[in-house]
Chain A
């Protein structure tokens, strides 16, 4: 049996007095795409932010329970920056940093200490190619990342997330602000990336999970309603009636 890439055990999270994740446990296999679906406010973003420990930047957020990456408890990791490089994160709204396209992608490797121009050049090209943006920007790597279109900025964000060679890639409703064509291109990218990284795909489009994920989790109000093979959740007989209602859009 393969060792899980990520193990979440009895994770709870509260913002101040309000608990928003109520003790959830699940494993993520290496090189799988795990889909996470669920209505807004159900704690999907918060869950991802616990995994890369950026939750620590939110005042008053208190996580408890354990999350292990490759068996190692992340709360005991001394180098949290290393953890964040191992867990890439793509936020819902595209964020081009106010730097050139090149510097956007080279930002993380430089922060990690990579200095050689040649290595950086190769890496930037590789990441932009992987995120299906290279052909569009290869002639203007010096122009500002913030001036790209929304869809291009989202692919730039993905390139930036790939630039620190993550083992796990978290995508948080990445298609919320981009057009369907770009969405499909990125989905194709993800199918290829799956060979190298483990992907957690939070999505507001249930069909996207169906297209990409081998297993899907239905998160609702901070609890896992159902986690299983995607076809089971999307079939006629999911274990829980709420899953059926949500997936088929009759959720009230």
Chain B
């Protein structure tokens, strides 16, 4: 159990990076994890050419996995290319959380933030 809820993860969930609403943003979305009640609302500001993420702000509640994943991810994506983020998957999120694996039942918690960010970027692109 300590393998899953290791110190770094607990801290990441505690000190949620980029928590708060962005006043100036290009896209936003809210997602729910219908099976457990996790929710995240994310706003994203892109660079002027629209190819990179300039800043991210988010709010939400949920389990430690969803909240820690969202916090770490929000930090990671700043300055990254939109195309690189679109290519991310569960493997990268596990790495950000220093986890080797996750139970199938928690996969949606893990991916809630990433799918929401992708949803925003996709909408911006179309």
**A in complex with B:** no
Give me the interface of A with B, judged by CB distance under 8 Å.
Answer: none
Give me the interface of B with A, judged by CB distance under 8 Å.
Answer: none
